[in-house]
Amino acid sequence: MDYLTTESQLNIDYGKVISLTRFNKILFGKAESFCTIEKFLLINAGIIKQINNEYYLLLNKVSNYLELIETQKGELHMPYNYYKNFKQHNTDHKYFNIFNTIDNYIEYLENIGDQFSIFIKSIMFSNGLFNGELVDSKFDMYCVKFNKKMGAPLYITFDNDTEQKDGTIAYVGEINYDSLYEYHKKSLLMDNPEDFLINNLEKVTGNLEFSKMAVQSYLIKNDYQTPLKGLTELITWKNVSLKNEYLDFFIFKYKNIVKVIDGEYMTNFEGLNKFLLNLEVKYLDQWLIKEQINELYYQITHELINSYEILYKERALYA
């Protein structure tokens, strides 16, 4: 799985390792180190190591860890990614209906295809992996949390009771996805405007910090909240010399929209736009980067205006 590469790190003593808490969160929907297998059993099996007060799973012992889970028959919490990636044709009946409900809800969101449904899907799944974490379970009820980059998380409570309440969905019998979608939509609209815009823009840019800069500049257009250093880090420059040359050119040409605050060059929303639009190919590592920047600029402008319109139009419906 790709996440094993992206989430792992190289340790000088043990080779490639991955945080046990993070691994369990991804595969079993529970962000705890020992939610599936008892600690000393894993230590004695040589599967985990303690590094700087945190436990890590040795990457070359992942198969041993999963085999141990199978033999121990421990609690698997919300193992959507585990079954989808390792046991596709052998899903435990305990989870089958819940996983089926999740898949059907995602299909429902795809069929709607509006900004909210796309956003909800991106919260539930990121980088091709289910992003839910089990936060409570009683009998046949499972409450799952989905964290957003900004703002309050979304929740789904899976229950075999067909009487549905806000945020609760039955995973047996006839299932009403409309009410769950409306609940999630309302939850998104209850975020403060800044969080709502940042979350939507991050889907376009793929960069949370840049999205924060762009939104904060957009909301208070004459405020100098955007560091030029932060903008330079978004660009793949031809070399350091040309990066510094462009920075000097920009500061000189647009000194009316650049201020030094706490020893750092800052600009406003107008400056952010001009910084991107004035970039010439000669400064960039490849000519294709200029096209990507132009497309990014268009997407940023479109997404901010569109999200703001949707936010206030939809909020009025729930007022």
Smallest Cα–Cα separation from 267: which of 276, 275, 258? Answer: 258
pLDDT interval class at 313 (50, 70, 90): low
The pLDDT of residue 167: 76
Phi-psi region of 256 (alpha: psi -120 to 50; beta: other; left: phi over 0): alpha
Residues 271-287 pLDDT 10s: 888 898 888 889 888 77
Is residue 144 within 8 A of residue 29, CB to CB? The reply is yes
Task: Select, from the ranges 28-42, 60-74, 164-178, 284-298, the one with the highest average predicted confidence (pLDDT).
Answer: 28-42
Q: What is the pLDDT, as a whole number, of residue 272?
A: 86
What's the mean pLDDT in 45-49? 92
* Model pLDDT, residue 89: 65
Residues 283 and 239 sit within 8 Å (Cβ to Cβ): no
Backbone angles phi, psi at 43, to 5 degrees: -65, -45
Mean pLDDT confidence for 84-113: 85
Decide if 250 contacts 275 (C-beta within 8 A).
Answer: yes
Q: How confident is the model at residue 296 (pLDDT cuts 50, 70, 90)?
A: confident
H/E stretch holding 125 = strand 125-126
Give me the pLDDT at residue 24, please. 93
Return the pLDDT at 163.
58
Mean pLDDT throughout 139-164?
A: 84
Mean residue pLDDT across the chain: 84
Token pair of 264 as six digits? 């750092």
Average pLDDT value for residue range 67-88 = 82
- Specify whether the CB–CB gap between 212 and 162 falls below 8 A: no
Residue range 94-109: mean pLDDT, rounded: 90
Residue 318, pLDDT above cutoff 70 = no
> Using one digit for the tens of pLDDT, what is the confidence trace for 178-233?
989 988 988 887 777 778 878 877 877 777 787 887 787 777 777 888 889 888 88
* Contacts of residue 94, Cβ cutoff 8 Å, sequence gap at least 6: none
